Structure formats: C-alpha cells, structure tokens
Chains A and B, each alone.
Chain A
Amino acid sequence: MPETRAITGNGAIAEAMRQIAPDVVAAFPITPSTQIIEDFAGFVADGKVDTELITVESEHSAMSACIGASAAGGRVMTATSANGLALMWEMLYVAAGMRQPILVAVVNRALSAPINIHCDHGDSMGARDAGWIQIYAENNQQAYDNMIMAPAIAGHADVRLPLMVCLDGFIISHSIETMQLEEDRQVQAFIGEHKAFHSLLDTANPSSWGALDLHDYYIEHKKAQQVAMANAKPVIEEVSERFGKEFGRRYELFESYRLDDAERVVVAINSVAGELKEVIDELRDEGEKVGLLKIRVFRPFPYAEIAAALKNSKIVTVLDRSTSMGAYGPLFVEICSSLYDANPRPMLYSRTFGLGGRELLLDDIRDLFEESKRYLNEGKIEKTSDFLNVRGG
C-alpha cells in the first residue's frame, strides 16, 4: 500500500534510493545533502537494501567511483550539494561524455565564497552545461517522484545520460512535509531493469573506455551527446505520463499554473513556486490576470514549448535563484532565447533572489506583481535585471 507520511525531502530521496536499490552508491557527506547518505547507510546496515556503499574521501572520488561502477554495468547513485558538486565538476563531464546514466540528488546550496550553507541554485546552474539532464522539484513529493522517474529516463536506450534531481537545500531537504511514498514493489516494477552496455566486467569482450579522442572524432561524439539530450525531452514526457497513469501525479516539462489567460507571468524554479502559487491565487481572487510557469526540466531546455505556453503573456518576470557574474541569470537567458521569435513578444525582465538562503516572503512576491503591473501599464521596464531583497537597493 502507498503510505502517506510526513518526511523530510532528504528522507524522501533516501527512500527512493532504497526502492531503486542501486548496485553501487559512492558518496561523501556535505550539508545539506548529508542526511540522504546517512539514511541510506542505515538501510544498508539494516539489510533493507543490497547496495555496495563506498564511503569515499571526496566528491571527486565519489563521482569517479560512480563512473567506474557504472561502466562496470551497475546502476549507480550518489547525492551532493554546492562545493561537493563543484569538486565533482571534472567528473560530471566525464560521466556525461561516457554516457553513464548515473543519478545524483543535488540538494541545492550556495557556493563559496563567502561560505554559506543555505539554498540557492548556483551549484546545479553552474553544472548546466556538463551534459546532465536536470530535473527540479518544488517540494518533497516532487523530489521523490522525480527520483523514481530518473532511472527510466537516464537509462533509456535513446538517452543514456546522467541525471540530476535538484531540490532546495533546507527548504525542502530538511522540512518534513506530508507526502505519499509508493509501494516498493510498484516502484520497482515502474523502474524496470537496468541495462548495461559494454560492461567492464565482460572480460570475454574487452572494451576500452575513456580513450584519447582527437580532432578526428571528438566532435562526432559531442554531436551524439547533443542528440541524446534532445531525445531526452520526449522520453521525459513519456516516462512522466507513464508515472501519472501509474501513481496519479502528473508532470510535464514545466508546470503551467493559471497561465492560459495570464497577462503577467512569473517564471521560476523549485520551492519558491509554492509561495508564488499562494500569492497568485490571492491576486486572481482580486481579478488580476497573473500566472506562473514553473520549470521542471532545465536540461534539456524546452524552448519551443515554453514559447507556446507564454504566447498570451504580456509581461514576464523571470526569477533566478543564482547569478551569472557579468551576465544575466541562467534562467532569464533561456527564457529570452525561448521568446526571441515570439510575435508579439512579451515584455521581459529578470530578478535574482534568494542567494545564500535570503528569504522571499509572500509580501515580497505581492510587491513583485505590483511592479510588473506598473511596468505593463507604463509600457516600459525600469530595470531589466536586478536583485531582490538586497540592502542598499
């Protein structure tokens, strides 16, 4: 029987890992993702899951061991945050280039310096070009659901790419929320068998992994990777649909919340969507045509689908929870790209919020919608890009 439980986001991810029952997990603790591996180590110690847990000495080695185990034919997972993900950086590209469907729970946290343990998306956004599928979650339920869908997406024959399930540090990872945990048997049936290819343990057919690839082949391998990423889009839709049929919770590449007739739209990622929905409902009650487009899949980025979803919008506010120094926020850049060909093209501007865990309260969100109303009425955007809730303006 599915079980309704109040459980932390990290706890939910650990439960998903137990149900997926990977062959190998290699991990190193880092706040706020640590509890995932602690809980999972408990499952291993209690014999609830038959996984080889490698407690490595760094995240670089965690990802390296994951790649080794995956190339040896295993289903492989890990979890990390912020500086840990940064230490994996080199190996993220290797995992993707080697087409290993490794699964990572990224509990989003700000990167140093100054050091900070709280949520922003600087870690996973920095890894957006590493060749990993990135799926984001608004709450504990979505983080769990995304993780359950992850093996089927990453391991799909047309895809074969590593995948990050991203959830907000502390806000989601450490909050207990009411959610539904599905039955082990049903989850395992949904996930299906892991299919390895050219396993290193197939000593009768020796394969060589990680060869030196020069100008005569490198770009062909990169093209194949880009095509696999494009293939991931319909596969994510297909797996999400199957998930909806199986478990009753439906997901798309992004969530459209009261968007159809919305004139003023906010585009955002992860937990802040909850607060946005709350305020949007209030404003709708007051007759305001406001809506939300919440990104779920950031890589591959659904450009055309987003353009279609925003076709009736008049002004779009993009909320980035990370910043690209010397450039616009990563989400804003993608939304601009999506809307370049739109006719008419909505007014567009960018707001960066929440770096290092700075709160964005419901009143702040009301102010945000006030601002977009003013811009729309005046037909002019005052500041294309700005930080929210920062002292000194």
Chain B
Amino acid sequence: MPKLQEMAKKKTAFSSGHRLCAGCPVPIFTKMLTRVTDYDIVVGSATGCLEVASSIFPYSAWNVPWIHTAFENAAATMSGVEAMARVRSKRNGNAKKIKCVAIGGDGGTYDIGIQALSAAMERGHDLLYICYDNGAYMNTGIQRSGATPLGAATTTTPAGQVIAGKQQQRKDLSKIMVAHHIDYVAQASIHDPIDLSEKIKKGIELDGPAFLNILSPCVPGWRINPDMAVESASLAVETCFWPLYEVDSGDYTVNYKPGKKRPVSDWLLTQGRFRHLKDPQWAHLIDEFQSLIDEQWDWLVAQEKKA
C-alpha cells in the first residue's frame, strides 16, 4: 500500500520547474505516477493547463516518456502508443512491460475528448485515463465545460443581472465510464493523497482500460486563494458534491462517507465563482444544487448496498 513514506523513497515522474499556477494542485497526482508502481510508464496529455505548463520548449517537466498531440485525442494517441507497447512485448517476451497513462482536463475529457475516450475504453486498451476535473476550460481562461457545476460563473456563463452563471447541472462522466463495463472506474480527490495513490496504482497496474476522475480545484477558476486548493477539494467531498468511490468490475464501493454531510453552501460560498449566489434572488439555485447532490448521493449509496 503506497503510504507517504513508501512513496517518498521513489523518484517522481514530474519534476520541479513546471509552470503551473502557484497553488495549482495538479502536480499532487502527477508527482505520484511513478511513486505508486514499479511499472515503467508512458504518459500522454490532452492540450490543457498541465500540458502547456509542463512542456514549454525547450523544457519538459516529464521524467517519463511523454506525448501531447492535440486537445481531443489523448485517449486515441495513447491507443497507438499502447498498441506499439504490445507489439514490443509480442516481439520480445523479456521486454519490461510498459503501462500507458493518458491525462486530460475536464475540457479534454468530458467535452471535446469524450469520443476518443469512449472508443479507447470500448476497444479495451491497457490504458489508465486520468481526468483532472477543475470544472471549466481553465487553460483558455475559464470558459464553461460539461463539468462546470450549476450556478458557477465562468467567462462564457457570467453571473449577470438576469442569468446567474451556468444554467445546467454538470454531466456525470464517471457514470458514463461505468456504462462502458470497463474493469475499473473511480473518483478521487487531490486532498486525500492515500486514497488517490491507491486508485492510481490500481488503474495503472490492472491489465485493461481504467478511468480515474480526480477533483482538482483551480485557483483562478474557482476564485480561491492560492493556499486553498486542498481545503476546497476536501469540502467538496465533505458536502458529497464529489463522492470518493470506485467501481471495481461493476461493484460499487463508496470510499468515504462523511459522518455528517455538510450543506453544499459550505463549499459553494467559499469560492468566488459562486459568490453571486449569496444574493437572495438566487437562493433557489442553492436549494436546487443541494437536492441534486442529495439525490445523487442516495443513488450512489444504494448502488453500494446492491453489491
């Protein structure tokens, strides 16, 4: 089990000197990739914050082989890499097995990349796809995505006089991935490094397609202070906005159940992107948000009981 002490003995996949925003929690999981497993890995990134900030020519923060080709196709690009890894194993039985990891933000995963992701999973490549979900297109300056929560203000869903941020609830990509009947689907959060590291390890090491959705708060996008990412992610889990769970060969396990579920407003109102919801005229949006969360949490807990 990858405890912090054990991880600390191993080399990181992701070097210092990258140029992500101060306080961006994405490196929490990228630093872990090689610390949780003994396999050699190859990483592919979708266009996005992580890709841009980790590879400004002539510098690269990647201590492992890494490729980026475009925004919508991390899963497809890594399908090719994975196929080639299989060719290598076929030709040389002694070659060390290489595991493939694709990484995209919610823009490159929920939206523009969902076709390539869905197909790669359906084809059964030995590939872990990690989505770091920060709830908008942060790389291009905070435009709404399919993962943007109800009521959040983004530059394309601003909080105006008559419209209060995004008018639709977010899509549940993790559930969509479960419907692919792949071996492993999980949600994790950057605030819980032990749970996170175990899930990355499982996803990398199993033979076949796996999907991991990581909640990763965005300092400028959520309009929080640079030291708040971990706390904000923790609140998302405590309010059950972002349940930590895994679906292992179809069986649901909820990894964390808060003793007392906190109201979603505790999470929403600590973020600038939801600040407008404090206005009494939008109070009903908070209620709507709360009932969505309650409904989805109940559904999830019921799935676990079924198993």
Binding site for B on A (CB under 8 A): 23-24, 26, 50, 52, 54-58, 60-62, 64-74, 76, 90-91, 94, 98, 199-203, 206-214, 216-217
Contacts and interface: CB of A to CB of B under 8 A. Distances in A.
A68 B87 contact: no
A201 B84 contact: yes
Interface string B61-105: 011111111101101111111111111101000001010000000
Given A73-B84, A90-B70, A64 B77 contact: yes
B84 to A, nearest CB: 4
Contacts of A216: 57
B60 A68 contact: no
* 4 tightest Cβ-Cβ pairs between the two chains A and B: A68-B80, A65-B80, A69-B80, A61-B76
A39 B77 CA distance: 24
Contacts of B40: 203
Contact of B116 (A64, A66, A201): A64
Contacts of A57: 115-116, 118-119, 122
Q: Which of A52, A54, A91, A211 has the most CB of B within 10 A?
A: A211
A56 to B, nearest CB: 6
B78 A68 contact: yes
B81 A64 contact: no
B180 to A, nearest CB: 13
B84 A60 contact: no
B48 to A, nearest CB: 11
A267 to B, nearest CB: 36
A104 to B, nearest CB: 14
Among A60, A90, A203, the one with the most B-chain Cβ atoms within 10 Å of its Cβ is A203
A199 to B, nearest CB: 8
Nearest to A218: B57
A212 B57 contact: yes
Contacts of A73: 84, 88
Given A203-B42, A211-B57, A214-B56, A98 B81 contact: no
Contacts of A201: 42, 65, 81, 84-85, 88, 98
B85 A72 contact: yes
A67 B44 CA distance: 12
A64 B119 CA distance: 13
A73 B57 CA distance: 22
A65 B76 contact: yes
B51 interface: yes
Given A55-B123, A200-B81, A217-B58, A211 B87 contact: no
Contacts of A66: 80
Nearest to A94: B69
B79 A23 contact: no
Interface in B41-59: 41-42, 44, 51-52, 55-59
A206 B60 CA distance: 10
B42 A72 contact: yes
A65 to B, nearest CB: 3
B98 A212 contact: no
B73 A64 contact: yes
Chain A CB within 10 Å — which of B62, B83, B90 has the most? Answer: B83
A211 B42 contact: no
B51 A212 contact: yes
Nearest to A57: B119
Given A71-B67, A201-B65, A26 B88 contact: no
Contacts of A62: 76
Given A64-B69, A70-B80, 10 more contacts: A52-B84, A56-B79, A61-B76, A61-B120, A64-B70, A64-B77, A73-B88, A206-B62, A210-B67, A216-B57
B84 A54 contact: no
Contacts of B81: 68-69, 71-72, 200-201
A214 B84 contact: no
Nearest to A74: B84
Residue of B68, B82, B87, B90 with most partner-chain A CB within 10 A: B87
A173 to B, nearest CB: 25
> Which of B73, B84, B86, B116 gathers most chain A CB within 10 Å?
B84
B80 A54 contact: yes
B140 to A, nearest CB: 13
B69 A203 contact: no
Given A206-B65, A207-B65, A211-B68, A52 B86 contact: yes
Nearest to B53: A212
Contact of B70 (A52, A72, A91, A213): A91
Given A24-B83, A61-B119, A72-B42, A200 B65 contact: yes
Contact of B73 (A61, A76, A98, A212): A61
Contacts of B64: 203, 206
Given A54-B79, A201-B88, A98 B62 contact: no
Given A24-B84, A67-B80, A60 B57 contact: no
Interface in B156-211: none
22 contacts: A24-B80, A24-B83, A54-B80, A55-B123, A56-B119, A56-B123, A58-B119, A61-B73, A61-B116, A64-B76, A64-B77, A64-B80, A65-B79, A68-B76, A68-B79, A68-B81, A69-B84, A74-B84, A201-B65, A201-B81, A201-B85, A217-B58
